[in-house]
């Protein structure tokens, strides 16, 4: 399953991404809502 994570705290973003990836998820991460929306527009 593919997930998009939007978290502005860089250390938390990396940690959550690593945990989710370890659990088998394909993770795309962004650092704020605007970046997440742009990612969705460019990748769907």
Mean pLDDT of 2-11: 97
For residues 40 and 44, give the distance between their C-alpha atoms in angstroms, rounded to a whole number.
Answer: 6
* pLDDT at 7 (0 to 100): 97
* pLDDT at 33 (0 to 100): 95
Mean pLDDT of 12-29: 98
* pLDDT at 44 (0 to 100): 84
pLDDT above 90: percentage of residues in the chain: 98
Give 20-42 as a DSSP string: HHHTT-EEEEESSHHHHHHHHHH
Instruction: Tell me the whole-structure pTM to 2 decimals.
Output: 0.84
pLDDT above 70: percentage of residues in the chain: 100
HSE at residue 27, side-chain half, CA atoms within 13 A, is 19
For residues 17 and 14, give the distance between their C-alpha atoms in angstroms, rounded to a whole number.
Answer: 5
Which two tokens mark 34? Answer: 């605007």
């Amino acid at each position: 399953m593919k997930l998009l994570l939007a978290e502005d705290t860089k250390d938390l973003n990396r940690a959550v991404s690593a945990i989710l990836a370890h659990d088998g998820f394909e993770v795309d991460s962004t650092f704020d809502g605007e970046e997440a929306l742009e990612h969705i527009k460019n990748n769907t």
